[in-house]
Amino acid sequence: MTRSAASVDISRWYSLAASVSTALLLFFAMPGYFGWWPLLFIALVPLLSAALYLPPRRSGCMGFMTGFLYHILTLHWIVVVLGRYGGLPPWLSVSAMVLLAAYMGVYCALFCFLFSLLAGRSWHRERSVAVLVWTAPILWVGLDYLRGFLFTGFPWLDLGYGLYSQPVLIQAADLGGHHLLSFTLVLANGFIVAVFDRQRPQVRWNIRREKRALLLACCFLIFVFGYSMVRFRVMPSLFRHSLQAEISVVQGNIAQNLKWSPQQKEQTIETYERLSRQAVTDHTTELLVWPETALPFYPQQDPLAARVVGLAEKENLYLLTGAPTFAIKGEGRQRQVSYFNSALLIDPNGRIVGIHAKQHLVPFGEYVPLRKLLPFLSPLVENIGDFTAGISSSPLVVGKQLRLGILICFESIFPKVARDEVAAGANLLVNLTNDAWYGRTSAPYQSMAMAVLRAVENKRSLVRAANTGISGFVDPVGEVVQQTKIFTPAAITAKVPAFEKQTVFVRGGYAFGGLCLAGIPMLLIWRKRQL
């Protein structure tokens, strides 16, 4: 073997080791099975170190391998969703998971390719490492933002969510959203790589511009985490002066394979009635919350709806529940029926005073894109109908002061949906979901982690009602006040503050991810001018 061939072989093993190391470190760090969040500050170090010296194409291949492996480990619950509950055969469920992991891996591949192109040393061995420190977070967050809306978007478990369990570190999300947290984590990893790189004997420390860039990175890290610590201490005193609402949440734990059975409808309502009475025994609850599609029927035409209305009247409270609804337009041949995944608000007089239709539907779960071209995927929606997306972000009003921003199911992973609700006047966020689809996998914990950041970004309490869990209450600084175990019937009650002031994130900070995406072509133009 020639010397050049040997070096190529060594670099291949090095890039493979870097890929596997970063994928595993991220998997252990992120919410789900382990959640060892301190690993987030070093998880990208192997990947960045290897990409620093690999040519762009090989760096891209390494990035794809990293992203593919990480998402195979993280998104394995897709097989449960599509196979056990979606009706697809095992070979098709596994294939769908592999394809989704490959799609997610493409973004990591693009990151490594662009990073090597813009900041790598494959064409300049003594290039300033300061370029790496600032280029990496811009690329990472810009691509995360792109993934959040391209092809309807799938921003599942972005890097910043890994800190959800540490409210003292995440308050800066009310400035630039969870994307700012991701930016900070990537910056911290790049800073570590830079510090170690500068220990090489051939490096000269008298490069003034590089010193300034690294010092600026250090100051940025201090600002973000310093701001978070101060904000975490200051905000609770403000919440105590806000309206306090007593809310009860019911977790029915209705098995997914029985949920839509006509024979089980009455038993389902009996379960929710029984748990609701347990929750409101003190008769101080203002709002009772049931999960997504807690009513497994269309309340407009089913006599069981009268029992639900009767519960709200008897207990003298507002009841918010998930239910499918429909709307009919036209007559005769022009007649069109649209179905919605909705949240209904029933007042103490038994009137439906508000209906909110889910705005961001699950592709291949609540509707099938290009259905005529993909007929074999129809079983995914034939049990619950092919839904139409809602268009309103207006909050549902409880009494005179409580305004509910509704997030149905996986809408909680989209910052824009929650932000639009708060901008429209919501002073409380409510997430209705049915996580039974995920089974006993890591997905319910990951979903809960992402919901926590919606509370922090908007500085709003978040009430979460999930059919099989996790249900609970999150305060405006992201502390989980109370939560249930999964696959356990439960009824819990808590007082939560309804904060009114808008955060920087709501007023404009939500654009941070978009600015990073816009920065990518600017970096490419800058690189072209450097050649």
Per-residue tokens: 348: 């103490």
**165 and 31 Cβ atoms separated by less than 8 Å:** yes
Catalytically active residues are: 292, 358, 409
Residue linked to tokens 């201490």: 233
Residue 57, judged by CB atoms within 10 A of its CB (0-12, 13-18, 19+), counts as: middle
Amino acid at residue number 423: A
> 10 Å Cβ neighbour count for 173?
31
- Beta strands per DSSP E along 184-335: 243-251, 287-289, 318-329
The verdict on whether omega for the bond into residue 470 sits within 30 degrees of 0, i.e. cis, is yes
- Count of CA atoms in the C-beta half-sphere (13 A) of 496: 36
**85 and 53 Cβ atoms separated by less than 8 Å:** no
**22 and 43 Cβ atoms separated by less than 8 Å:** yes
Phi-psi region of 389 (alpha: psi -120 to 50; beta: other; left: phi over 0): beta
Cα gap 485→77, rounded to integer Å: 18
Q: Which residues of 394-429 are buried (b: 16+ CB within 10 A; e: fewer)?
A: ebbbbeeebbbbbbbbbbbbbbbbbbbbbeeebbbb
Closest by CA position to 439, among listed 30, 86, 28, 161:
86
